[in-house]
Amino acid sequence: MNHFVKIRRDLHRIPELGFQEFKTQAYLLAYLESLPQERLSIKKWKTGLFVKVFGSNPSKTIGYRTDIDGLPIEEATGLEFVSTHQHRMHACGHDLHMSIALGVLTHFVENPINNHLLFIFQPAEEGPGGAEPMLNTDVMVEWKPDEIYALHIAPEYPVGTIAVKEGLLFANTSELFIDLKGKGGHAAYPHQTNDMIVAACTLVNQLQTVVSRNVDPLDSAVVTIGKITGGTVQNIIAETARLEGTIRTLSPDSMDKVKKRINALVSGIKAGYECEVTVDYGAMYHQVYNNEQLTREFMEYIQKETEFNLIECREAMTGEDFGYMLKEVPGFMFWLGVDSEFGLHHAKLNPNEDSIGVAIKAVTSYFTYRGN
């Protein structure tokens, strides 16, 4: 078995939620400390890590970011290395992301290039967001890279495929939490209550008009309510209800318009149902916008210098807080084909582990090309 496949399987067994990645951080540190240390410098940040690999004749620093957290999902893959943490799973491929990053890092510890490399092991990508606060650390100020890169697994593409595009790759995203409070009571006396189940259902229906009637048809946006909670038993009218969802847009302006429209609809529910309503937009992620020049150079390199299949993909409504890093440092993110029947955030996601070697080879060869 490939050494970095084993690492992936080890990490797959111990998924942890954002800013709770204590076992993951310890595993990464143990591996890093097993490498020759003369060209390494390691600094902790919460449950994440900054790792600098010193170049032999540096003129710049090249950054590489990997996310390290898992998701609150009960795994259903049936794999022999299934998650040992109840209701926790690496269902977004961060276990592969980490093993690839360690493979690239190990290569450059053993095969120095001229320029410095900075590897960022970032917690809390799935929420509440680790990229933006990591950018504001003293370590990042001291070691700030001149360019930065990342990848994300893509279940829909076969192994050996790299998909990328210049400009917008991932959407602007925002969480959405709406809490409604009215007056509960006996089901036999609805006239004495303010039913928050009815209010919540009305609001859900109204939210479906935000995109269809308030966003330019030539633009794109999504408002999804993924969870509704309310009430206690069948014969009590619910005093409270809660909606949980997500907003995704292809432009910051559209995000502002969508939120303004949601606020207006909420005001109508307050008046119409004589209730209290609070809106919390939770964590918001900035769009992933790939630097045109660097992305184009990478695409040309993959086509001309490697055996891998390059696809120029379309933008996606996926959210990724790597967008905050790209806002401050030029670079790009690309999709890595992993050929899984089940998609991202699915309990049966099972990436083809041959993709780990593909990614390590692609990134190390490109960094050698850019770093010497």
Domain with 207 in it: 172-284
Give me the mean pLDDT over the 359-364 stretch: 98
Instruction: State yes or no: pLDDT of 371 exceeds 70.
Output: yes
Confidence of residue 218 (pLDDT cuts 50, 70, 90): confident
Q: pLDDT digit string (tens) for 308-348?
A: 999 999 999 999 999 999 999 999 999 999 999 999 999 99
- Do 57 and 21 share a structural domain? yes
Residue 158 DSSP symbol: P
Which domain CATH number covers 296? 3.40.630.10
Instruction: State yes or no: pLDDT of 22 exceeds 80.
Output: yes
Instruction: State yes or no: pLDDT of 93 exceeds 80.
Output: yes
Instruction: State yes or no: pLDDT of 1 exceeds 80.
Output: no
Average pLDDT, the chain: 97
- Do 137 and 18 share a structural domain? yes
Q: What is the per-residue pLDDT for 25?
A: 98
**Does residue 131 sit in helix, strand or coil?**
helix
C-beta neighbour count of 244 within 10 angstroms: 17
Q: What is the per-residue pLDDT for 14?
A: 98
- Do 311 and 267 share a structural domain? no
- Do 159 and 203 share a structural domain? no
Domain final position from 264, 284, 304: 284
- Do 47 and 149 share a structural domain? yes
Confidence of residue 283 (pLDDT cuts 50, 70, 90): confident
Which domain CATH number covers 208? 3.30.70.360
Domain final position from 284, 304, 327: 284
Helix, strand, coil proportions of the chain in percent (round to 5)? 35, 25, 35
Residue with tokens 């149902």: 273
Separation of alpha carbons 83 and 95, rounded Å: 11
Domain final position from 284, 300, 328: 284
- Do 229 and 348 share a structural domain? no
- Do 324 and 266 share a structural domain? no
The number of domains in the chain is 2
Instruction: State yes or no: pLDDT of 223 exceeds 80.
Output: yes
- Do 244 and 100 share a structural domain? no
C-beta neighbour count of 33 within 10 angstroms: 10
- Do 260 and 179 share a structural domain? yes
- Do 215 and 329 share a structural domain? no
Cite the active site residues.
67, 126
- Can you read off the two tokens belonging to residue 236? 């009590």
Q: pLDDT digit string (tens) for 129-182?
A: 999 999 999 999 999 999 999 999 999 999 999 999 999 999 999 999 999 999
Q: Which residue type sits at 101?
A: A
Q: What is the per-residue pLDDT for 2?
A: 87
- Do 269 and 336 share a structural domain? no
- Do 269 and 312 share a structural domain? no
Instruction: State yes or no: pLDDT of 305 exceeds 90.
Output: yes
Query: Cα(first)–Cα(last) distance of the chain, in Å?
Result: 31
pTM summary value? 0.92
Q: Percent of the chain at pLDDT above 70?
A: 100
